[in-house]
Amino acid sequence: MLGLALALCNADRVVMSVAIVPLSQAYGWTPSFAGVVQSSFLWGYLISPIIGGALVDYYGGKRVMAYGVALWSFATFLSPWAAARSLWLFISTRILLGVAEGVALPCMNNMVLRWFPRTERSSAVGIAMAGFQLGNTIGLLLSPIIMSRTGTFGPFVIFGLFGFLWVLVWISAITGTPGEHPQISAYELEYITKGQKLVKPQVQGLFRHPFMDASVFQNLLGYVAGVVSDTLIRNGTSITLTRKIMQTIGFVGPGIALIGLNAAKSPAIASAWLTIAVGLKSFGHSGFLVNFQEIAPQYAGVLHGMANTSGTFAAILGTIGAGFFVDRMGSFRGFLTLTSLLYFSSALFWDIFATGERVDFDGTS
């Protein structure tokens, strides 16, 4: 259910990337104004992860996730009506979408913390984030097909309705904690709370179909990283060292791949390097992303929100920076080189200062 929620989250987000072309033609938007419309999602997304994280830590992931999915589905479903009445009303729905989606990842972190033992959280996060990336693929693939049959706003309506259906299933079938579930056995409850292992993860099904693009490759490696991370911890590797290994791969791997992308001489080779970069980046799901649950489980939501907001600022700066480099240098090469250096320096900073042990933020120890 968490993976499906994150898939809906990303699908509702990326549908605008497909719709922006026909909308610009229909309403006569200039490219610069179309950029404003597309970026309006980020305006709402800037602060909401921090606020959403605080709400998650206080009220729990189940309740906040239900409200979040309902609100962003409402914003998505309302988009056609808003666009027909006012451009700024339409932009307001995109801002509302950003506000609502800011709670998604903090809620995921909170629910994984409550429902999975320490030795399986990396795998759980990997599966949930695979859903997030799958939503990107679904949104980009299905939106043009739906638009060709129902019009530009068809995907907004359909994805919004799916969101409402998800909320109904979520509130009726999911409990906030294992102890609240009416059908959980005493053994299962003890297993979750004490971190014992029941069965080995079923990985073989992942290899029945070939991966075709960067999104599928990222989903696959994200799950593999989770399984490897949990295996290392169960075999006695410290949590700190495990998180450092995973995150180092998630930083250094893409950094090297971007250097290869810079040197690529053909579209096929460039695509291969880009796929490797996106895939290896998913090792961070078992590095920093799950580490919030280790260092401060009581504040995992708000810490995740703060990290998310920082990432949103970086996304805005990256978009502006890419345009600056292209204008000044005539290509993306300089920007890719700078991004590689940022990856390498981030890996060094993480390996020096990161910890997977509990941090006493409250000053009680």
Q: Could you tell me the pLDDT band of residue 164, with boundaries at 50, 70 and 90? A: very high
State residue 220's pLDDT score: 61
Beta strands (DSSP E) in the chain are none
Q: Could you tell me the pLDDT band of residue 211, with boundaries at 50, 70 and 90? A: very low
Domain count, the chain: 1
State residue 209's pLDDT score: 39
Look at 141 and 363; give whichever has higher pLDDT: 141
- Look up the CATH number of the domain holding residue 163: 1.20.1250.20
In a domain, residue 276? The reply is no
b/e per residue 188-210 (b: at least 16 CB within 10 A):
eeebbeeeeeeeebeeeeeeeee
- Collapsing DSSP to helix, strand or coil, 312 comes out as helix
In a domain, residue 128? The reply is no
In a domain, residue 102? The reply is yes
State residue 197's pLDDT score: 43
Tell whether the torsion through CA atoms of 68, 69, 75 and 76 is positive or negative: positive
* DSSP code at position 200: -
In a domain, residue 323? The reply is no
In a domain, residue 296? The reply is no
In a domain, residue 324? The reply is no
State residue 212's pLDDT score: 42
Look at 16 and 332; give whichever has higher pLDDT: 16
> Which domain range does residue 150 map to?
1-115+143-176
Note the pTM of the prediction, 2 decimals. 0.61
In a domain, residue 150? The reply is yes
In a domain, residue 223? The reply is no
pLDDT > 70 in the chain, percent: 78
